A and B are shown apart, each in its own frame.
Chain A
C-alpha cells in the first residue's frame, strides 16, 4: 500500500514538470506581400538574385530579415505586427527605387497590421514592351520592343538581349537549354526586335517548353525579364 502511494506521488510530481502555455511565443501571423511594379506593370526578375532587407528597430541588435524577389517580382514575409523598415541596397535590381528620378528612395517604412500588401514602385532602366513568343517549325521566336524609361544622367544602354528556353518555369541565365542573344549595339530598331532559337532535343522528352526574354543593361548586374511563357510544342 505504501509503495503504491509513492508511485502516485512520483506521478503527480512528473505532471508538475510538464511545460505550460506561458513558455511559448505566438508565431508571427501577419503576411507582408507585394511585388515590384512600374506604373502598375509588374516587373519580372531573375529569381533569388535581387535582395531586400527588413529591419525592425527597438529590439536590441538590429539584424535584417533578408529575402529575395521571385521571378515574378513578388516578395512575402510572415511577420509580427509592427513597424518595419524595408531597404533595397544600391545596385540591387535592374531599376532605381522610387517614382521619379528626382525622388529616389533608400528605405521605406511599412506598418504591418494583419495581412499587409505593399507594392514597390520602381523605375526600370528599360522595359520590354509587347513581348510575343511563338513557336513554329521547331523554332521559338520572340518579338518585342524595348523602351528606355530612365534617360538623362542616369541613363544606361543595353548590353545584350537574350531569348532563353528552359524545360522548367525558370527560364533565365541560370537554367536554360538553349539561348540566342543579340548585342545592344547590333539592335537597329528598338521597337521591333526579333530573336529566334531552335528547340533542342529534350531528355527526358516533354511536349512543352518555357521561354523568356532577358535584357542585360550595361553596368547593372541584374537582368530584366519578360513574363515566362509556356509553349506547347
Chain B
C-alpha cells in the first residue's frame, strides 16, 4: 500500500517538469489583450471600441435609473417609504441634487474619446471609415461637453489625451474652466463642422448623423441664448467674475439666430426626412404614447440611446407599471402629480383645472371615470395612465373608496381591501387594487400612473426579461419647439406660432394659435407638457431662471394649486393628487357615479425652496483640490 503512494508521487513529480524553454514561454503573446496597433488594425475592432464609447453616453434622465425621472413635483415617489421621504420631506435640494443626480465629472470618458481620436489617426483602416468613426467620437465628445455645460456652466475643455511626465509638477495638466459662452461656442462649432462629415441618414437612430449634430447645435444654441437673456435680468447674482458662469446679454440674439438656423436646416430636410410621429391618426393619445416605444422606422426620432433585449435592457417598465396584475409584484414607483396633469390644456386652447366641483362648490358627478378628463390635450392620456384607462389591454383599478350620501367615506388600508357597506351583509371591495392608499407603497397614490416610456410589450415588466425601449435624446418635436422659441425671442411671433401649431396639431388641437397668442408662458408651457418626463423640464427650469419662483418654499394650498395654470412661474412646491371616489347611495340617481377630490398626501411635508446656488451643480471639494485653477460655483 505504502509503495503505491510512493509510485504515485513519483509519477506526479515527473509531470512537474517544464516542457518549454523559459524564453519561449515568457514571450508568448497574450491571448486576452490586444495591443493598440492590433486593436486599430481591423475595422470591426475599431467599431467595437466606438460602440463602447456610445454605450457610455451620459444622460441626466436614464432609463436604468427610474428615480431620475420624477423630481420637481411633476411626480410623487411612491416606491418605498425611504424614497418618498428622500424626495418629499426636504425643503431644498443639495447643490448636487438629491442622490447627486445633477453631477457628472467623467474626464476619464473624455480622455478615452481623445485617445480614440488620436489612435485612429494611425490606424490602417480605410480613410472613409477613419473619417466617419472619428466624426462619431467627436460627436460623443461634444455631446458630453453639452451635458457638462448644462450642469456646471464653463468647464475645462480638454481636446487631447493628457499624460503625466512624473516630474513632480502636475500644474501643466491643470486646465482652468472655460467661460460659459466658450463651452457653448465649442459645441456649436464642433456640430457645425461635423454636420458635413456625418451621414445625412434619417433611418440611423442610434449612431451620430447629420441630424443629430444639427439637433445638438440647436439645443446648445437655444440654451446659451436663454441663459444670456434671462440670467442677467433675473438672477444677476448667479455669475462669476471670470465668466465661468454667466453669458453676456449682448450675445443672446446671435445664439437665437444660430438656434433658428440649425433647426430650420433639419425642418427643411437637409439632414434627411424627419417628421412628427403620426402612425395612428385616429387615436392621438395612443399615437403619442407609441412615439416612445415604436422603434420601427420612427420618423420623429433623430438620435436615441438604444437598448436591445438580452444584451442591454432596463427595468423602467417594471418599476413604473400599474401594480395590479403586473408581471412582477411591483410597480407604480412614480405617480404623475395633479400639478402636471392639470397643465394639459382644453382643446379650445384655454387652461382650466380638472373640474371636480361646480360653481357652488358641489361635487360634479361623472358617469365614467375618464369623463373628467374629456376634451383635453391628447398628450395627457399619452403621458399619464388615467383612472379608467387601460395598460397592456387590462383596465387599471384606481379609486379611493365609496362615498356615502352623508359624505362619509368608506375605504380600506390596503389595495383592494373589503368592508361591509351600510345595508349590506357581506364584505365587498371598497378601494381599487391599484390604490390610491395613503402610506401603502407602490400604488397610484396621486391617482395616476406614468405611461411615457413604459413599455407595453409582454415581459417588459418582468425582471428576467425587462425592456428594450430606447431613451430618445433628440426628436423632431424638440426641433420645432426650439425654432418656435427662437423665432419668438427674435420678434417673429407669426413664424413662432406656425412651428408651435405643428406640434399642437399632433396633440389634437384644431384651433391654431395666432402670433399674438405667443408669449414666453406659452413656450415654457408647451415644452413642459410635450417633454414631461424626458429630462428637458429640469434644464428649462434653470435656463429660463424660473426655478426659484416656482419653488419659493411656501406651502401650496388648494387655491394655489388651482390658480394660475399655464403660467411659467406658477408655484409648484408640493405634489398634489386627484383621488376618485365612487358614490354609494342606492336609489339615488348618483349611485355608482364618480366624484373626484384634490388630495395632498400627508407624506409631503416639505415645501420646496430653490436656492440660487442650485442653478449650477456643485463642483466637489475633491475636484477643486485636484485642480486649484478651478473656481467655485456662485452662491454655494
Q: A174-B607, A175-B91 are in contact. List 19 more A-B contacts (CB 8 A).
A: A49-B611, A61-B625, A62-B625, A63-B621, A63-B622, A63-B624, A63-B625, A89-B632, A89-B636, A91-B635, A92-B635, A173-B554, A174-B553, A174-B609, A176-B555, A219-B236, A219-B237, A221-B611, A221-B612
Contacts of B612 in A (CB 8 A): 91, 221
Contacts of A64 in B (CB 8 A): 621
Does any Cβ of A come within 8 Å of B634's Cβ?
A: yes
Contacts of A212 in B (CB 8 A): none
CB distance from B317 to the nearest CB of A (A): 37
The answer to whether A173 and B553 have CB atoms under 8 Å apart is yes
Chain B, range 40-56, C-beta contacts under 8 Å to A: none
Which of B237, B553, B622 is within 8 Å of A91, CB to CB?
A: B237
Interface string of A54-89 (1 = CB under 8 A from B): 000000011110000000000000000000000001
- List the B residue with the shortest CB-CB distance to A92: B635
Please determine whether A174 and B635 come into contact, CB atoms closer than 8 angstroms.
no
Contact with A along B191-226 (1 / 0, CB 8 A): 000000000000000000000000000000000000
Q: A64-B621, A89-B632, A221-B635 are known contacts. Are A174 and B91 too (CB-CB below 8 A)? A: yes
**Shortest CB distance B88–A (Å):** 14
Among residues of B, the one whose C-beta sits closest to the C-beta of A174 is B91
Residues from chain B with Cβ under 8 Å of A61 in the complex: 625
When distances are taken between beta carbons in the complex, the residues of chain A under 8 Å from B622 are: 63
- Taking CB as reference atom, which chain B residue is nearest A48? B92
Question: Which partner residue on chain B sits nearest A222 by CB separation?
Answer: B611
Q: Can you give 29 contacting A-B residue pairs, CB < 8 Å?
A: A49-B611, A61-B625, A62-B625, A63-B621, A63-B622, A63-B624, A63-B625, A64-B621, A91-B237, A91-B634, A91-B635, A92-B635, A173-B553, A173-B554, A173-B609, A174-B91, A174-B92, A174-B553, A174-B606, A174-B607, A174-B609, A176-B555, A179-B554, A219-B236, A219-B237, A221-B237, A221-B611, A221-B612, A221-B613
Number of B interface residues in the complex (CB < 8 A): 21
Residues of A within 8 Å of B, CB-based: how many?
15
Contacts of B237 on A, CB cut-off 8 Å?
91, 219, 221
A80, B166: Cα distance in complex, Å? 34
Chain A contact residues: helix, strand, loop or mixed? loop
Return chain B residues, CB-CB under 8 Å to A219: 236-237
Q: A179 vs B555: C-alpha distance in the bound complex, in angstroms?
A: 10
Specify which chain A residues have a CB less than 8 angstroms from the CB of B621 in the assembled complex.
Answer: 63-64
Among A19-72, those with CB < 8 Å from B are: 49, 61-64
Tell me the bound Cα distance from A219 to B606 in angstroms.
24
Q: Which B residues are CB-close (under 8 A) to A91? A: 237, 612, 634-635
Distance, CA A89 to CA B622, complexed state (A):
18
Q: Kindly list chain A residues whose C-beta atoms are within 8 Å of the C-beta of B613.
A: 221
Give residues 92-133 of B contacting A (CB, 8 Å): 92
CA distance A61 to B170 in the complex (A): 14
User: How many angstroms from the CA of A179 to the CA of B107 in the assembled complex?
Assistant: 47
Contacts of B609 in A (CB 8 A): 173-174
In the complex, A62→B636 CA distance in Å? 17
Residues of B contacting A176 in the complex (Cβ-Cβ under 8 angstroms) = 555
Contacts of A175 in B (CB 8 A): 91
A157 to chain B, nearest CB (A): 15
Chain A contacts of B624 at CB under 8 A? 63
> Chain B contacts of A63 at CB under 8 A?
621-622, 624-625
Residues of chain A from 143 to 178 with CB closer than 8 A to chain B in the complex = 173-176
Within residues 599 to 632 of chain B, which ones have a CB less than 8 A from any CB in chain A?
606-607, 609, 611-613, 621-622, 624-625, 632
CA–CA, A89 and B613, complex, Å: 12
- The answer for the CA separation of A64 and B236 in the assembled complex, in Å, is 27
Inter-chain CA distance A63–B622, complex, in Å, is 7
- Expressed in whole angstroms, the Cα–Cα distance for A173 and B553 within the complex equals 6
Interfacial chain B residues near A179, Cβ < 8 Å: 554
Quote the shortest CB–CB distance from B244 to chain A (angstroms).
14
Cα of A175 to Cα of B92 in the assembled complex, Å: 12
Chain A, residues 88-100, CB within 8 Å of chain B (1/0): the string is 0101100000000
Q: Which of B237-281 contact A (CB under 8 A)?
A: 237
CB-defined contacts of B606 to chain A, threshold 8 Å:
174
* B555 shortest CB reach to chain A, Å: 8
A89 touches B635 (CB 8 A): yes
Q: How many angstroms between the C-alpha atoms of A9 and B186 in the bound complex?
A: 71
How many Å from the CB of A35 to the closest CB on chain B?
23
B-facing residues in A87-144 (Cβ within 8 Å): 89, 91-92
> Closest Cβ of chain B: how far from A102's Cβ, in Å?
21
- Give the Cβ gap from B290 to chain A, nearest Cβ, in Å: 43
8 nearest A-B residue pairs (beta carbon): A174-B91, A61-B625, A63-B621, A91-B635, A173-B553, A221-B612, A63-B625, A91-B237
Q: Please indicate the chain B residues that have their CB under 8 angstroms from the CB of A62 in the complex.
A: 625
Question: Please, how many angstroms separate the alpha-carbon atoms of A68 and B624 in the complex?
Answer: 20
Chain B neighbourhood of A92, CB < 8 A: 635
Query: How long is the Cα–Cα vector from A175 to B612 in the complex, in angstroms?
Result: 19
Cα–Cα, bound, A62→B635 (Å): 20
* A69–B264 CA distance with the chains assembled, in angstroms: 52
Min Cβ gap B559→A in Å is 14
Within the assembled complex, what's the spacing in Å between the Cα atoms of A62 and B626?
A: 10
**A212-223 near B? 1/0 per residue, CB < 8 Å:** 000000010100
Determine how close the nearest CB of chain B comes to the CB of A11; give it in whole angstroms: 37
